[in-house]
Amino acid sequence: MRAGPGTRPPGTVRAAGTPGTPGTRPSPAAPRGTGPSGSAGTSGTGTGTGSTAWRRVTADARLRLAFTGLALLGAVASGCGIRSTSLPVDAGAAPSRVSCVLPGDRETSDGGDGGNLPVRVYLACGSRVSPVDRRVALPDGDDSERLPVARGLLDALQTEPDSEEEAAGFKTAVPRDLKVDGAREGDPPAALRLNRPLKDLPSFALAQIVCTYAGTAAAGTDRSVILGGPASAGEDDPLRLFRCDTALRTRPEAAATAGTQQ
**Amino acid 157: pLDDT:** 96
Q: Which residue has the higher pLDDT, 112 or 105?
A: 105
* Residue 176 confidence (pLDDT) above 50: yes
The model's pTM is: 0.61
Q: Domain residue spans in the chain?
A: 96-261
Report how far residue 152's alpha carbon sits from residue 135's, in angstroms, rounded to the nearest whole number.
10
**Amino acid 31: pLDDT:** 45
How many Å is the Cα radius of gyration of the chain? Answer: 48
In Å, how far from its chain's centre is CA 151? Answer: 40
Report how far residue 17's alpha carbon sits from residue 250's, in angstroms, rounded to the nearest whole number.
99
Q: What percent of the chain has pLDDT over 90?
A: 44
Nearest to 243 by CA among 221, 216, 214: 214
**CB-based contact 255:206 (threshold 8 Å):** yes
**CB-based contact 218:145 (threshold 8 Å):** no
- 128-136 and 180-181: which strand pairing? unpaired
H-helix segments, 159-239 = 163-167, 203-213
- 240-242 and 260-261: which strand pairing? antiparallel
* Residue 196 confidence (pLDDT) above 90: yes
Share of the chain residues as helix, strand and coil, in percent rounded to the nearest 5: 35, 15, 50
pLDDT tens, 28-37? Answer: 444 444 444 4
* Residue 16 confidence (pLDDT) above 50: no
Report how far residue 218's alpha carbon sits from residue 151's, in angstroms, rounded to the nearest whole number.
9
Cα–Cα–Cα angle for 150, 239, 209, rounded to 5 degrees:
35
Report how far residue 125's alpha carbon sits from residue 130's, in angstroms, rounded to the nearest whole number.
6
